[in-house]
Amino acid sequence: MSQDSENNESGKVSRRAFLGATAFSGVAGAGLATGLLPRATFAANNENGVAVHPGELDEYYGFWSGGQSGEVRILGVPSMRELMRIPVFNVDGASGWGVTNESKRVLGDTAHFQNGDTHHPHMSFQDGTYDGKYVWINDKANSRVGRIRCDVMVTDRITRIPNITSVHGLRPQKAPYTKYVFCNGEFVIPHPNDGRDLDDPSKYFTVFSGLNAETMEVDWQVIVDGNLDNTDADYTGKYAASTCYQGRGEGVTLAETMRNERDHAVIFNIEAIEKAVEAGDYITIDGSKVPVVDGRGDNTPFTRYIPVPKSPHGLNTSPDGKYFVANGKLSPTVTVIAIDRLDDLFAGKLKTERDVVVAEPELGLGPLHTAYDGRGNAYTTLFIDSQIVKWNVEDAIRAYNGEEVNYVRQKLDVHYQPGHNHTTMGETKEADGKWLVALCKFSKDRFLSTGVLKPENDQLIDISGDEMKLVHDGPAFAEPHDCTLVHRSKMRNVQSLWTRDDPFFAETVAMAKEDGVTLEADNKVIRDGNKVRVYMTAVAPVFGIDKFTVKQGDEVTVVVTNLDRIEDLAHGFVMTNHGVSFNISPQQTASVTFVADQPGVHWYYCSFFCHAMHMEMRGRMLVELPE
């Protein structure tokens, strides 16, 4: 399934020629009118005349955090249509995530948690740009990181990060390729956290983790002063940087975390960390085997602490690879750190840590996150001012050096209280400066009232011209902290059918083999003591077994294989009154295990509308009384 951009390019030209410039400006300007259109038929228009009409495809995949829903969502940009939801940490009724044996294997020993708090979805990189392979997402609530395979858009690994409480900032290494996913442990805790030290915060600390992108094991951790909020990587593979809003570690209460005029951005020297770990120069803590190095203090080989004002939050690398920008939150400023001075910083050639700071532009109240357009401009969210401020990075540096130059290009009102913002391809060296999404935490009066809980408001802003233009309001269920906007040309591997030897259900296939069952052909019931395994095929509109008999109290495993090869022809399997419901996509095998605890006749049925005779796609489980 290839999605080349040529169709879109030619479509764009012909539409523009047909409609003409005045028609476009009319539609784009009518913010209120477009807000009333249903999301699915919205046509966004930018200076290039891009519109997404019914039946047309978007130019970008947006991977959205699902926040407290514990999932990841796929949106098309610029239409802002929600295309799909990918369950990660949550229990999901449609797919059966958290219900099927295959998803429970991915959830592992944390399968009993039925929720997550996802913040930062980020894709794997090759050479500073997306490779379309994986998306990672953190679970702040339960200290986990999930990985989504972008060929099937299914979560394939979940790792609970050891030695920490809550993962917040998460970023893949950008170059030369994503070897590590950097994960910030946010809350400081005692080590070991086993009850012997409780209320002595001077003994608390947290760690920065290098999660191996392929194995999903933590390769190493670094103990830090203070806590860790957000993080980003550079474009050489040498450095990563994280913000800290807690001073050097002493603050645990609100007043304590706010008392410093400057907190810091901590720079991690990845080479130095790897060297120490390779040389065996590390410790282990809390009974985990992960190598840990100590990055506390001013002159370790692993870390440097750059003082920045005040309670900094977002940390964003510019797409030219030159700067880390730390966003001040309680300061009206952001701090621009020159990455090419970090070698000298670690070599001890600079007088103070502040010598890596090349600009500290004053932007407005509550700067949280910064995005880039690839043309030298940065876009920072101002949470308190409810604005996006567009500013020029090199002009901010000139102003810092004493030149009289106005670096602020424009301030645009957004609605309301933006957290993250994100530009198309803006976290890669291929930042293309077409669209900016502002993820607003409050929608207030922007939509029909939905009662006491209101949606967030994900606003689409055209940044292709000199001026930012707001073109769309997108309501979203709680609470997308962040998103990633990936050009569709990067997503060449998206499949519409499962491959029969896919590792996602390989264990189930192996179980069938042991039972002498060929899933693609057989319909069999295997009894093994009080365990019963029911193997059935699904081909629209029939299950391969229309009746099976078990005894009350049997542990029943139902394995369904969808043999249809037609794109989008999903089946579902529901065992009524047993809490069993899951999807089986084309060529997939999925299974569930439950106890047949109620005697009598129990219908099972297909729950995805697959055929004119879909209602008839069903069968009976007969549960006999025990002897």
CB-based contact 283:207 (threshold 8 Å): no
Of residues 119, 191, 264, 390, which one binds ligand K7E by CB under 6 A? 119
Size of the site for ligand K7E (CB under 6 A): 12
Of residues 75, 207, 273, 610, which one binds ligand CUA by CB under 6 A? 610
Residue type, 292: V
CB-based contact 610:617 (threshold 8 Å): yes
Size of the site for ligand CUA (CB under 6 A): 9
Closer residue to ligand K7E (CB): 65 or 79: 65
Q: Residue 110 in 3-state DSSP?
A: helix
Interaction with ligand CUA in 560-579: which residues (CB under 6 A)? 571
Distance between CA 546 and CA 408 in Å, rounded?
A: 69
Closer residue to ligand K7E (CB): 230 or 333: 230
Closer residue to ligand CUA (CB): 292 or 563: 563
> What is the 8-class DSSP label of residue 401?
T
Closer residue to ligand CUA (CB): 397 or 569: 569
Interaction with ligand K7E in 449-478: which residues (CB under 6 A)? none
Interaction with ligand K7E in 71-110: which residues (CB under 6 A)? none
Of residues 617, 619, 621, 623, which one binds ligand CUA by CB under 6 A? 617
CB-based contact 379:416 (threshold 8 Å): no
Distance between CA 627 and CA 613 in Å, rounded?
A: 38
Q: Which residues pair with 550 in a beta bridge?
A: 623
Biggest CA-to-CA distance, the chain: 92
Distance between CA 577 and CA 595 in Å, rounded?
A: 12
Interaction with ligand K7E in 195-234: which residues (CB under 6 A)? 230
- Rounded to the nearest whole angstrom, what is the least distance from the CB of residue 222 to ligand K7E in the complex? 20
Show the site string, 234-253: x = touches ligand CUA by CB under 6 A, - = not.
--------------------
Binding of ligand K7E at residue 571 (CB under 6 A)?
no
Closer residue to ligand CUA (CB): 42 or 608: 608
536: left (phi over 0), alpha (psi -120 to 50) or beta: beta
Q: Which does 120 bind (CB under 5 to 8 A by kind): ligand K7E, ligand CUA, none?
A: ligand K7E
What is the total residue count of the chain? Answer: 627
Helix spans in 53-135 (H): 101-107
Binding of ligand K7E at residue 186 (CB under 6 A)?
no
Binding of ligand K7E at residue 420 (CB under 6 A)?
yes
Closer residue to ligand K7E (CB): 45 or 421: 421
Of residues 120, 422, 488, 533, which one binds ligand K7E by CB under 6 A? 120
Query: Any idea which residue has 């609970």 for tokens?
Result: 160
Of residues 12, 16, 39, 614, which one binds ligand CUA by CB under 6 A? 614
CB-based contact 396:361 (threshold 8 Å): yes
Distance between CA 420 and CA 432 in Å, rounded?
A: 18
Distance between CA 403 and CA 55 in Å, rounded?
A: 52
Show the site string, 513-552: x = touches ligand CUA by CB under 6 A, - = not.
---------------------------xx-----------
Binding of ligand CUA at residue 606 (CB under 6 A)?
yes
- Rounded to the nearest whole angstrom, what is the least distance from the CB of residue 442 to ligand K7E in the complex? 12
User: Within 10 Å of residue 398's Cβ, how many Cβ atoms?
Assistant: 15
- Rounded to the nearest whole angstrom, what is the least distance from the CB of residue 415 to ligand K7E in the complex? 16
Of residues 61, 383, 535, 608, which one binds ligand CUA by CB under 6 A? 608
Binding of ligand CUA at residue 224 (CB under 6 A)?
no
CB-based contact 121:137 (threshold 8 Å): yes
Distance between CA 581 and CA 605 in Å, rounded?
A: 9
247: left (phi over 0), alpha (psi -120 to 50) or beta: left
Residue type, 297: G
The residues binding ligand CUA (CB under 6 A) are 540-541, 571, 606, 608-610, 614, 617
The residues that touch ligand K7E, with contacts defined as CB under 6 A, are: 119-120, 168, 230, 313-314, 368-369, 419-420, 481-482
